Amino acid sequence: MLPTDFLSHPLPPPVAATVDTLLLPVSLLQHIFLFAHLPNRQLVVALFVKLYRWKLTATLLSRKKRSMSGQELPDYDADSRMTGSKKGSPPPIMHPDVDVAERDPTNLSSYIKVTFQEVIAEPEPSVFSLDKIWVLSFKVFNVSKIWCYRITSAMLALPLAVLCGINFACMSFCNIWLANPLVRCLAMECHIVRQVWELIMDVLLRPFCVSVGQCLASIKMTVMGD
């Protein structure tokens, strides 16, 4: 028979309120024990519940301790401007092969970077619009550009990604299974032609060129003034 004194110690109210919201699986197990007619089922259920609460309490306290020591995970609210998420929203999806923050590491599309100042400019006060109109134009330009791209990419990015993947897969297949073998065959055939050509040059043309060069080497030219 297990002692039940240790089951009577209450948890702190904030921790208890947090833990109670996570005890739905425990309540289901409690019903299973009640219908199973096990001996000392109430003590077993109470022990299981207490151990579960202790585990969650230790987890919460360890997280609080890490946050106070500065070892907590970085706040994703700082990246909300970049990802477009609201403050308090979950972190962006991470993938070991894809960088969500830096999506153009090779500057492939750097030429399409366009800002409001590069498109619309008012050079002098005589052609200045109202201040509020200028500010609203700036906001409307950025918002329409961002959301038009996001909506278009949401509708067409996946189909185009599939088409691009199929296209490059077919190109890779053609290069691997067609172009490279043909080039290799051509290189093998040209190797024989190269050996025959080098033999012809060494046997026929090289002695003739050497003889002509030696004959012309004995010629001397003298330039005389007027």
Reported as a single tens digit per residue, the pLDDT across 91-106 is: 556 667 777 778 888 8
* pLDDT value at residue 97: 72
* Assigned domain for 54 exists: yes
* pLDDT value at residue 95: 66
Could you list the residue range(s) of the whole structural domain that residue 11 is in?
5-68
Closest CA to 46 of 18, 60, 25, 26: 26
Task: Please tell me the distance from the alpha carbon of residue 60 to that of residue 72, in angstroms, as a whole number.
Answer: 12
Residue ranges of the chain with per-residue pLDDT less than 70: 1-52, 54-56, 62-95, 225-226
Task: Please tell me the distance from the alpha carbon of residue 219 to that of residue 146, in angstroms, as a whole number.
Answer: 80
Residue partners of 60: CB distance under 8 A and separation at least 6? 15, 18
* Assigned domain for 167 exists: yes
Is residue 200 located within the same domain as residue 131? yes
* pLDDT value at residue 30: 57
* pLDDT value at residue 159: 94
Is residue 125 located within the same domain as residue 34? no
* pLDDT value at residue 132: 92
Is residue 40 located within the same domain as residue 122? no
* Assigned domain for 86 exists: no
* pLDDT value at residue 223: 79
Is residue 116 located within the same domain as residue 60? no
Is residue 117 located within the same domain as residue 203? yes
Task: Please tell me the distance from the alpha carbon of residue 92 to that of residue 98, in angstroms, as a whole number.
Answer: 12
Distance from CA of residue 89 to its chain's centroid?
19
* pLDDT value at residue 85: 47
Is residue 203 located within the same domain as residue 120? yes
* pLDDT value at residue 168: 96
SS3 95: strand
Residue with tokens 């970049």: 82
* Assigned domain for 76 exists: no
* Assigned domain for 93 exists: no
Count of domains observed in the chain: 2
Is residue 128 located within the same domain as residue 207? yes
* pLDDT value at residue 83: 43
* Assigned domain for 63 exists: yes
In this structure, what token pair is assigned to residue 202? 């060494």
* Assigned domain for 64 exists: yes
* Assigned domain for 219 exists: no
Is residue 60 located within the same domain as residue 117? no
Query: Domain boundary residue among 68, 86, 121?
Result: 68
